Every structure is written in structure tokens, then in C-alpha cells.
Amino acid sequence: MDDIDDAACRFSQGDRLLLRTIRLLALQPACNGAKHHFEAACGLAGREAYRTLGVFMEQLRLNGQRRIALSVPTARTLTADEEAILAAFAAAQNDDYRELETRLADLTAARPPASLGGAVCLVAQVFTMQGLMISSECPVRAAA
């Protein structure tokens, strides 16, 4: 899963897993191999975390007031929206709910519903239990 790394920073395994899965879920239907990889990486809660990540994507579609820009699954760069998504999940892992709310509001261009934050928190907690940390330390570079 080194396709998302670039020379400017090293993404964590959690960053790569989350980004690739979100990018693939946005394509609908998502790749079965990616689903199984995600579930295996998340351990016993993998199936629930995958479904909850799907809920996150659906909530963005239903409640978002703007279009979210995502790169293709194998892109090595991040869009500003992907950076905001990483930051939201990192905030949830760090119990920084004010930052989480701010990032989700930016993504939806509206007040985000509680279900959106709940989905992020559940997936972030599963990632934490598996040692899959999310970082938002890398600078945003426009997707090619």
C-alpha cells in the first residue's frame, strides 16, 4: 500500500488504509479485495468498521452542501478534502471533538449531523485498537 506515500512525507499505514478505502467506496461499487483487506486490518471489528465507513460516505453525500474532491485510488497526492478527512479522523483518535466538528463542518459546508461524527469516531476507535494511527501532518498538494 505504498502508492499513497510521496517524498514529502510518509503516510502511516492507517492513513493509507483509510484513504484508499474512502477513494474506493466513492466509486461504488467498491472492490471486494479492498473490502477484505480493510476488514482484515481492522481485526474482529473490521466488518463493522467497513460498514460504518460506508455510512460516513453516505452521510457526506446526503448532508454535504458541496462536492468533495477525492483522488483516484492509486494517486500519490492528496486533495484538500482528503486532508480534511484525515484531520477529522485524527481528531477523533485524539478525542479532540471541537476539531472534529470543525473539519466535518468544512467538509459538509453545513452543520454536520451527529451521525457523521459518530461514524468517524467508531472507525477511529477501531483503528486505534489495531494500532492504525491517523496523522494529518503532511502538507496538502493538489492532486495530479
Round to whole Å and give the CA distance between 91 and 85. 10
> 15 lies in a domain?
yes
Q: How many separate domains does the chain show?
A: 1
> 30 lies in a domain?
yes
Give the percent of the chain with pLDDT over 70: 87
> 135 lies in a domain?
no
Domain of 15 in residue numbering reads as 2-129
Contact criterion met (CB below 8 Å) for 138 and 11: yes
Question: How high does pLDDT run on average in the chain?
Answer: 87
Q: What is the pLDDT of residue 31?
A: 75
Q: What is the pLDDT of residues 85-105, one digit of tens each?
A: 999 999 999 999 999 999 999
> 20 lies in a domain?
yes
Q: What confidence tier does 138 reach under pLDDT thresholds 50, 70, 90? A: low
Round to whole Å and give the CA distance between 120 and 114. 10
pTM: 0.86
Q: Would you call 41 helix, strand, or coil by DSSP?
A: helix
Round to whole Å and give the CA distance between 115 and 85. 15
CA atoms within 13 A on the CB side of 124: 23
> 47 lies in a domain?
yes
Q: What is the pLDDT of residue 2?
A: 44
> 137 lies in a domain?
no
Q: What is the pLDDT of residues 14-55, one digit of tens each?
A: 999 999 999 999 987 767 888 999 999 999 999 999 999 999
Residue 37's nearest CA partner among 7, 16, 61, 57 is 16
Residue 24's nearest CA partner among 68, 57, 2, 65 is 57
Mean pLDDT, rounded, for 60-72 = 92
Mean pLDDT, rounded, for 75-80 = 90
> 88 lies in a domain?
yes
> 90 lies in a domain?
yes
Angle ∠(37,60,40) on CA atoms, nearest 5: 10
